[in-house]
Amino acid sequence: MKIRMALAMTIAVTALAPCFPAGASLGGDMTSVRDDQVKMQGTLRTTSIDSYNVHEIQTPGGVVVREYVSLSGSVFGVAWQGRSHPDLHQVLGAYYDQYVQAVQAQRAQRHGRGPVLIEQPGLVVQMGGHMGSLTGRAFIPQSLPVGMRREEIR
Amino acid sequence: MRALPSRIFLPFGLVMASMLTFGCGAGSNGGASQSSQNGNNPVSNVQTITVNAGPASVYVDGAFTSVTVCVPGSTANCQTIGGILIDTGSSGLRILSSALTISLPQQTNPSGSPIAECAAFADGITWGPVQTADVKMAGEQASSLPIQVIGSANFSNIPGNCTAQGVPMDDLANLGANGLLGVGQAIQDCGSACTTSGQGVYFACPSSGCTDTPESLVLQVQNPVASFATDNNGVIIELPAVSGGEASVSGSLIFGIGTQSNNGLGGATVFGTDPFGDFSTTYKSTAYLSFLDSGSNGIFFLDSTTTGMPVCASLNFLYCPASAQTISVVNNAQAGTNGASAPASFPVGNGLTLVSTNNTAINGLAGPFPGLIDFGLPFFFGRNVFTAFDGKSTPGGTGPYLAY
């Protein structure tokens, strides 16, 4: 179901793959993580780009989660948009505690409320929007495939 | 209130009387027209707001007010709580348990289990029980309104599927306010989605622990102003223009749109939004999702690559341009609404310099957020910003919309 085009960074194929297992935790291995699609009771659409795959899960609650997976099967980025944030325990995996500490550190220096903008050498987490319309993304910057721009995780 | 002026103007004829009545903003199409009052003085609909450091003494660009909550039906068992942040980005009244000294009745389900809520914001969650209060501001009252009490000691175990949605803001240090007054476009804080279970928002909490539960619309925490007896179709936030920074400024939160002589739309442009207040903004020929959020303490938009402005060296959530910039955008009504489109501009200064003063009202405070434009409180300075509630009738059309 995956067709490679000669030109890099162009969408090669979009296919409905309702039983395809989706990687979940940042930094995790696709073969070792739970099936998010089942957990979220959503529909899955897989898009293959030249250097990575995107697993897009649409939940019944109206949240779209996109998981970015390298060709070797490693999850390096997750983006979302919808009524709620996704399960950040699941999405961030081993990075969850680092995220909590970074959020608390940022609150201490920001003079009020605004979006979360965590930028650390090994972890980027951005959470914005407002009640009822939330968006965000998390990725491991050094794990992006060569030539991929961070703006592509969205 | 409407009958008396009509009688006064009867000698001028019925046509004149109805024109004058309409001119007073009392048109029968107004969402607030079902007035329950019979006196000849309109209800006081002006609540003073102040941009200051807030109760935690740390805030910049936050608009605060006070709210009176009473045990439903009581006029004696009441408390007025200051330091409540006005938030057009959410709906519902939330008060820190630490700021609440009276005991309010707990909402329970038919089995008698208390109901608690996990409310998700961009920057974290608030967790705590849903309780019921009469909520009073200016001369207005919302009776038996479900509100959220945050950080209650009796609900200290936050469910895992709540912390999964963000880091708790359950005390003054984390919230920066004694509470939030959510007066966004939405009526309820969750809406129809939460009438089915599994949303991670409402929980039934018997002694064995909290589990996700459906919550009917009327029981959900909701926009207090939409529950007022009058002036309940929207709000206006009026703040003076700020040039650079000021130690503090005061303004008004006005209830109702076109319901009294002081809350007409005038020349404001109406932009249709989605039910949560989202619309679209064009910057350098590209359209982005956008919203007006008085609860954001800056204008957070796009990224350094797109705007050409670096973030501050030590504060990556603020822009630090070498010299002050003026950003020009075009705001567009949400697709499928009224098609309105109008340019707007706002300044961006050096964030590090701006927050290093003792000023709490700062025009020019801005930072990045990739892919969208969050018009926070600085955008409200010098603009009268109207928020019309979802499904409510106003002289500018039926909400949801924003106007300024």
Reported as a single tens digit per residue, the pLDDT across B307-320 is: 999 999 989 999 99
Flag if B184 and A130 touch (Cβ within 8 Å).
Answer: yes
Sheet containing B341-348, strands listed edge to edge, beginning at the edge strand earlier in sequence: B341-348, B325-332, B279-283, B286-292, B369-375, B299-302, B366-367
**pTM (2 decimals)?**
0.88
Flag if A117 and B369 touch (Cβ within 8 Å).
Answer: yes
**Contacting residues of B for A62, CB less than 8 Å apart:** 193
Residues B20, B23, B29, B32: is their CA dihedral positive or negative?
Answer: negative
Q: Is B198's pLDDT higher than 50?
A: yes
pLDDT band for position B230 (cuts 50, 70, 90): very high
Closest CB to A85 among B60, B166, B277: B166
- Give the model's pLDDT for residue A83: 93
Flag if B122 and A107 touch (Cβ within 8 Å).
Answer: no
Reported as a single tens digit per residue, the pLDDT across B103-157 is: 999 999 999 999 999 999 999 999 999 999 999 999 999 999 999 999 999 999 9
Q: What does the pLDDT average to over B86-100?
A: 98
A103-128 b/e (C-beta count within 10 Å ≥ 16 → b) = beebbeebbbbbbbbbeeeebbbbbb
Measured in angstroms, the CA of B259 and the nearest CA of chain A are apart by: 27
Token pair listed for B193:
């989605």
Q: Is A5's pLDDT higher than 60?
A: no
Query: CB contacts < 8 Å between A and B, how many?
Result: 158
Q: How far is CA B232 from the centre of its chain?
A: 13
Closest CB to B316 among A84, A99, A119: A119
Measured in angstroms, the CA of A34 and the nearest CA of chain B are apart by: 16
- Which residues from A are below 8 Å from B when comparing CB atoms? 61-62, 83-85, 87-90, 99-100, 103-104, 106-107, 109-117, 119, 126-135, 137, 151, 154
- Give the model's pLDDT for residue A31: 52
Reported as a single tens digit per residue, the pLDDT across B51-77 is: 999 999 999 999 999 999 999 999 999
Q: Is A33's pLDDT higher than 60?
A: no
Reported as a single tens digit per residue, the pLDDT across B242-297 is: 999 999 999 999 999 999 999 999 999 999 999 999 999 999 999 999 999 999 99
Give the whole-angstrom CA distance, residue B145 versus residue B289: 32
β B366-367/B299-302 pair status = parallel
Q: Nearest to residue B221, comparing CAs of B123, B133, B292?
A: B133
Q: How far is CA B350 from the centre of its chain?
A: 27
Q: From A117, which residue of chain B is nearest by alpha-carbon distance?
A: B317
Closest CB to A100 among B62, B167, B193: B167
Measured in angstroms, the CA of A74 and the nearest CA of chain B are apart by: 22
- Give the model's pLDDT for residue B10: 33
Reported as a single tens digit per residue, the pLDDT across A78-120 is: 999 999 999 999 889 899 999 999 999 999 999 999 999 999 9
Residue B397: count of CB within 10 angstroms of its CB: 16
Rounded (to 5) percent helix, strand, coil in chain A: 25, 35, 40
**Contacting residues of B for A83, CB less than 8 Å apart:** 190, 193, 199
- Give the model's pLDDT for residue B136: 98
**Contacting residues of B for A88, CB less than 8 Å apart:** 164-166
- Give the model's pLDDT for residue A39: 62
Cα-Cα-Cα-Cα dihedral of B352, B369, B338, B271, to 10°?
A: -20
**Contacting residues of B for A126, CB less than 8 Å apart:** 369-370
**Contacting residues of B for A87, CB less than 8 Å apart:** 161, 164-165
- Give the model's pLDDT for residue B134: 98
Flag if B198 and A61 touch (Cβ within 8 Å).
Answer: yes
Measured in angstroms, the CA of A37 and the nearest CA of chain B are apart by: 15
- Give the model's pLDDT for residue A62: 77
Question: A7 Cβ partners below 8 Å, 6+ apart?
Answer: A50
Best residue in B86, B126, B158, B167 to probe A by mutation, most A CBs within 10 Å? Answer: B167
β A13-16/A43-48 pair status = antiparallel
Give the whole-angstrom CA distance, residue B72 versus residue B142: 10
Q: From A100, which residue of chain B is nearest by alpha-carbon distance?
A: B167
Closest CB to B176 among A112, A128, A154: A112
Measured in angstroms, the CA of A54 and the nearest CA of chain B are apart by: 19
Q: From A84, which residue of chain B is nearest by alpha-carbon distance?
A: B120
Count CA within 13 A, CB hemisphere, residue B362.
26
Flag if A104 and B371 touch (Cβ within 8 Å).
Answer: no
**Contacting residues of A for B166, CB less than 8 Å apart:** 85, 88, 103, 127
Flag if A133 and B276 touch (Cβ within 8 Å).
Answer: yes
Residue B137: count of CB within 10 angstroms of its CB: 25
pLDDT band for position A37 (cuts 50, 70, 90): low
Token pair listed for B220:
């959900």
Residue B78 β-bridge partners:
B70
Question: B11 Cβ partners below 8 Å, 6+ apart?
Answer: none
- Give the model's pLDDT for residue A47: 77
For residue B88, report the phi and psi dihedrals to the nearest 5 degrees. -80, -5
Q: From A103, which residue of chain B is nearest by alpha-carbon distance?
A: B167
Question: B337 Cβ partners below 8 Å, 6+ apart?
Answer: B271, B272, B273, B401
**Contacting residues of B for A154, CB less than 8 Å apart:** 370-371
- Give the model's pLDDT for residue A77: 95
Please tell me what DSSP assigns to residue A113: -
Flag if A132 and B124 touch (Cβ within 8 Å).
Answer: no
Q: Is B38's pLDDT higher than 70?
A: no
Q: What does the pLDDT average to over A6-19?
A: 32
Closest CB to A115 among B119, B120, B122: B122
Mean pLDDT in chain B? 91
Give the whole-angstrom CA distance, residue A24 versus residue A26: 6
Q: Is B25's pLDDT higher than 60?
A: no
Flag if B372 and A135 touch (Cβ within 8 Å).
Answer: yes
Question: B117 Cβ partners below 8 Å, 6+ apart?
Answer: B126, B127, B128, B129, B130, B148, B189, B201, B202, B203, B221
Q: Is B17's pLDDT higher than 80?
A: no
Q: From B188, which residue of chain A is nearest by alpha-carbon distance?
A: A132
Reported as a single tens digit per residue, the pLDDT across B143-174 is: 999 999 999 999 999 999 999 999 999 999 99
Question: B22 Cβ partners below 8 Å, 6+ apart?
Answer: none
Closest CB to A114 among B90, B123, B163: B123
